[in-house]
A and B are shown apart, each in its own frame.
Chain A
Amino acid sequence: MEARTSPDSPVFSASASPNALCFGDDLPATGAPCLVDLDTSGITVHLLQAPPIVLRVKFDEVSVSAGGLDHDQLVAQWTGEQGRRSLYIKDPVLIRAFRAAAPPGLTRRLDDTAAAVRRTRTRQRSTWAAVGGALVAVVLVLWFGSDLLVEMAVSRIPVEWEQKIGEAAYRDVLAQQTVIKEGPAVSAVQEMTRRLTERLSDSPYKFEVTMVKNDVVNAFALPGGYVVVFTGLMKNAESGEEVAGVLSHELNHVLQRHGLERIVKQLGLFTVLSVIMGNQQGLAGLMREVSLQLLTLRFGRDQETEADVTGVHLLHRARIDPEGLIRFFDRLSAKEKDRVELLSTHPMSQARAARLRTEVASLPKQLPEPFTFDWKSVQQSLAGP
């Protein structure tokens, strides 16, 4: 029962400003600001409205729980003359006074509630700590292990896919270029390719080397074994061994799946994770879009160095003089005096040549087997319009 009397022997007397909110069917939804006084027998609620109303309720009529968004408010509920009433107390001083004044039975329930709130908070904190820790771990793994993840993902992509991606890009390139299909230069490149690929009998790739009429001094490899050699490289090389060296380097980009590694890196974490998790289907579409990007793809410096070293080993196994590749880099280095190594994707040619010299020195000596073609006449066949 709710009675409208004045309190006897107050143990907590509120200050002038309201310290709780009172809710009920006849009160506003935001709650009526009120002053709560406590004594040993019950609660006195002064509703601060005109005319002021004083509600008096005994502790044995009240049920207590924790409420509010964070369960950090003390909620006292009772049924009075005006129906069900709820008192929301947030002020810690008032909550302490309530616990001191209320009978032990009520206090025990309050303590249980308080313990439950503490448990919830602890659980919430530990969940956040666990989530934070997991995030930090993921960031660390990505920071230090992204290459490992990329390699894991790449190793799970079938070679047939790689060939399809490479082939699409290859057809696109050739459609826009003048392909040289026959002649002494094509035969020479075919001979080099045969010499090199004979040593790669266990490779899953079928290499296809095409010569394109273009003055760029370069060659490039697409995933799946598609290699393009520009006539500019043929005209500028001083021997067949130089071209064979570049070819060997490009073949090794394919063998090490460097193109695929770059694609996966560009597609990012999402791809890596989805491949590791086994969702390869969704990836096929993405890959197709990326095949166009292949044309502008640049390998990383680590990949270039790796292709250089394995390229020299392949030349050695094919009994082609690896000095050709080194001389090619020497001549390139003469043209790039102004470049800054740190900013380049390719290592400086001078450093590459030096690195390869030590590599060659560590290989057992052997007598190189010369090519059957005459380099000067190969070059002359490309001259003219």
Chain B
Amino acid sequence: MNSEVLYPGAFPMVRIQLAAGEHIKAESGAMVASSPTIDVESKMEGGFLGALSRKLLTGEKFFFQTLKANRGPGEVLLAPTVPGEIVIIELDGLNEYLVQKDGFLAGAETVKIESQMQSLSRGLLGGEGFFILKISGKGTLVLNSFGAIHKIELKPDQEYIVDNSHLVAWSATTSYNIERAAAGWVASFTSGEGFVCRFRGPGVVYIQSRNPGGFGNWIRQFIPVSE
């Protein structure tokens, strides 16, 4: 399998070339086009209960689609719903990534996806909800963001502060604490930041340059209110 990002920038697509018999998992609805050799199957990753819990708990789509090159080699084009960058990560089997629920676009068949429950404080204040996706294994992982993706590399014990609604993915060797953005409670919210995550290395943190919730609030003021 070989993947390549087309039209990098706000409206990219990813082209994935599959050898005969190979398959990938993709976010349901992500397929744009494919060779006639590719079959689309709907598969509930982790069994019915696993899929159900992922649907109910993380808000991720119930099914992943499986794209399989059944009748010889071929390629598929995938695109996310929102405008924003696509990034390809090669998992080495050692690094695990935690991905917020909208960040996953596609992954190789060897990539393992689980829902993970966060601690109460992280779930309540972290901005990603109580459940996030934990992605491990070896192979290609394709993530997407809202806006551009920025990669922050942290050396051991190096710290960095990220507004929680801008998080896309982070490696499991990092740790983070939730903090107020400013010293006082009132200042934290009037500054518009609320809570932030203080990440501690080593590891990498992928952030998105736009905040989906903030964009939603901004666009809401232009939507006519119906009766």
Contact = CB atoms under 8 A, between A and B. Distances in A.
Given A29-B153, A29-B201, A124-B119, A90 B94 contact: yes
B154 A29 contact: yes
Interface of A: 17-21, 23-25, 28-31, 33, 67-71, 73, 77, 84, 86, 88, 90, 124, 127-128, 131
B120 A124 contact: yes
B126 to A, nearest CB: 12
Interface string B169-186: 011111110000000000
A28 B153 CA distance: 8
B204 interface: yes
B21 interface: no
Contacts of A17: 93
Which 7 residue pairs across A and B have the least CB separation, nearest first? A29-B153, A23-B202, A86-B156, A69-B172, A23-B156, A21-B94, A127-B120
Contacts of A67: 173, 175
B155 interface: yes
Contacts of A124: 119-120
Contacts of A127: 119-120
Interface of B: 92-96, 98, 117, 119-120, 153-156, 170-176, 201-204
22 contacts: A18-B93, A23-B173, A23-B201, A24-B156, A28-B153, A29-B153, A29-B155, A29-B203, A30-B95, A30-B153, A30-B171, A30-B204, A31-B173, A31-B202, A31-B203, A69-B98, A69-B172, A69-B173, A71-B175, A73-B172, A84-B156, A90-B94
A24 B155 CA distance: 7
A209 B173 CA distance: 74
A86 B117 CA distance: 27
A71 B176 CA distance: 11
B93 A73 contact: no
Contacts of A88: 173, 202
Given A21-B173, A131-B120, 18 more contacts: A18-B92, A18-B94, A21-B94, A23-B173, A28-B153, A29-B201, A30-B92, A30-B95, A30-B153, A31-B203, A67-B173, A68-B174, A68-B175, A69-B175, A73-B173, A84-B156, A90-B94, A127-B120
A217 B213 CA distance: 52
A31 B175 contact: no
A339 to B, nearest CB: 30
Nearest to A25: B155
B173 A20 contact: no
A130 to B, nearest CB: 9
Nearest to B154: A29
B54 to A, nearest CB: 18
A29 B92 contact: no
B189 to A, nearest CB: 18
A68 B172 CA distance: 6
A127 B153 CA distance: 33
Contacts of A33: 92-94
Contact of B155 (A23, A77, A90): A23
A105 B204 CA distance: 33
A231 B174 CA distance: 76
A29 B154 CA distance: 6
